[in-house]
Amino acid sequence: METNRRRDWSPLSEEERNLYAQQGYLHFKGLFTEDEVNLGLRVVDDALAVETNNIAKHASFADYDHTVRVRDAVSFLPGLDYFLDHPKLIGPLMSLLNNSVQVLGTEVFVRSLANHALEYWHTDGGEYMQGIQLAPESPSLQVKAQIFLTDVSESHCGNFLLIPGSHLRVPTEQNALCYMEDLDEPLRRGILPDDAIEVKAAPGDVLLFPYSLWHAVAPNTERVRKTFIFRYGNLWHRPHDYLTQPSHVLERMSPRLRRMFGDFGERPHPSDFYKPVGQGDVMAGGDLPA
């Protein structure tokens, strides 16, 4: 990560790193401004205006009539580039992913009203990742960023539910979709674990959490909830909702964002994904020297 270029981002503080390691999430309040939130809402509108706004169906997708999930959204929504390449988001990701950051997926989420849980308790990444327990203080394998564009600062708004510290535990029963029936059965009756918390977020807030955090989504009886969800992993991971981004998508992006989509130019070497050349310069941000 050596570079003589001035970075446009700052790493997490030691206190933030310790907090993430202990509780398994970071809640950044007001990371994006009101103008940036309005930009995000326009991107959501653009996403919903496209009829074919999903990648091909997959057996693992749990889609519901109360939720619209626009997957691989960056492939047709240039407005997402601003958020994906934002220095205030880059810094924490570089810290958590040991400077090796790849965008694995880009989704626009619109959750409408329902008087039952919008999503049940689970971990991310499928059953193979569910069985992996990292050593304390280890860099993350995969991280999600949820960007809140509408107000969920009160209960009953489709609030994100999580269990602090659960990322340090492997569920006793594992299955293909990673649901936890011992927690989901009470959730159907409106009962949460004693140690669960309900995230209350304002527009512009961002929640970062690893694939291994136990989480769910509460009922929504108040207002439509709009968010972005970005998935990240190391450069040597396979993406989640695309294979490779087409050239016309990469051409509009900054050098840093292209690298974050696994692009190493016209003649990549397989080792680039493990030992990326010039990573410090590329990830510093701004225009690279000719």
pLDDT recorded at residue 52:
64
pLDDT at 57 over 80: no
State percent of the chain over pLDDT 90: 86
Q: Is residue 51 very low, low, confident or very high in pLDDT (cuts 50, 70, 90)?
A: confident
- The verdict on residue 28 lying in a domain is yes
pLDDT at 286 over 70: yes
> Is residue 2 in a domain?
no
Asked whether residue 124 is assigned to any structural domain, the reply reads: yes
The answer to the question of residue 9 being in a domain is no
- Average pLDDT of the segment spanning 149-174: 95
Q: What are the C-alpha distances in Å from 112 to residues 47, 63, 118, 158, 169?
A: 16, 13, 9, 8, 32
> How high is the pLDDT of residue 287?
76
Q: How many domains does the chain have?
A: 1
List of residues 6+ apart from 139 with CB closer than 8 A: 96, 97, 98
Q: List CB contacts of 250: < 8 A, sequence separation 6 or more.
A: 258, 261, 263
Residue 62 has pLDDT above 80, yes or no: no
User: Tens digits of per-residue pLDDT, 21-36?
Assistant: 999 999 999 999 999 9
The size of the chain, in residues, is: 290
The domain spanning residue 116 has which CATH number? Answer: 2.60.120.620
Backbone phi, then psi, for 89, in 5-degree steps?
A: -95, -35
For residue 71, tell me if it sits in a domain: yes
Q: Is residue 4 part of a domain?
A: no
User: Residue 8 domain-assigned?
Assistant: no
Spatial contact of 67 and 109, defined as CB atoms under 8 Å apart: yes
Q: Are 171 and 180 in contact (CB under 8 A)?
A: yes
pLDDT tens across 82-99, in order? 999 999 999 999 999 999
Which pLDDT value is given to residue 290?
57
Q: What is the pLDDT of residues 242-274, one digit of tens each?
A: 999 999 999 999 999 999 999 999 899 999 999
If one counts every other C-beta atom within 10 angstroms of the C-beta of residue 156, the result is 15
pLDDT of residue 47: 94
Whether 114 is in a domain gets the answer yes
**Residue 111 pLDDT:** 95
**What's the confidence (pLDDT) of residue 238?**
95
User: Which tens digit of pLDDT belongs to each residue from 171-217?
Assistant: 988 888 999 999 999 999 999 999 999 999 999 999 999 999 999 99
Q: Which residues pair with 220 in a beta bridge?
A: 114, 157
Nearest C-alpha neighbor of 228 from the set 267, 201, 189? 201
Average pLDDT along the chain: 94
Q: Which domain holds residue 249?
A: 14-283
